[in-house]
Amino acid sequence: MEIGLTHYLVVSALLFSLGVFGIVTRKNSILVLMGLELILNSANLNFIAFSKFKGLNIEGHIATLFVIVLAAAEVAVALAIILNIYQNYHHIDVDEINKLKE
């Protein structure tokens, strides 16, 4: 069987759904971040697959490079924030951090 565009799109849609599922259900902030990474990577896979199979220009590859860099930056900032949360609360459970609710 030939591996075509559809296969890539299905894998990326699965990654995307798993990422959203992870963000919604996980309690640990680090695992929430991993869900975010899955979403960004599903977008990357889409960009590359469209670029390759639809014979498009190089824009898709460039977009992927930018998204990879941004994902790294975002995780760096988010981890610093989580570290700060740990110093203040001594845990990183997102469900327990709710002082701001009325």
Tell me the two tokens of residue 49.
């697959």
CB of 76 to other proteins, least distance (A): 9
Which positions lie near other proteins, rule CB under 8 A? 16, 19-20, 23, 29, 32-33, 36, 39-40, 42-44, 46-47, 49-50, 54, 56-57, 59-60, 62-63, 66-67, 70, 73-74, 77-78, 80-82, 84-85, 88-89, 94, 97-102
Residue 23 amino acid letter: I
The tally of CA atoms less than 13 A away on the side-chain side of residue 23 is 12
CB-wise, 11 or 74, nearer to other proteins? 74
CB-wise, 2 or 95, nearer to other proteins? 95
Distance in angstroms (rounded) separating the CA atoms of residues 92 and 27:
8
Distance in angstroms (rounded) separating the CA atoms of residues 74 and 36:
10
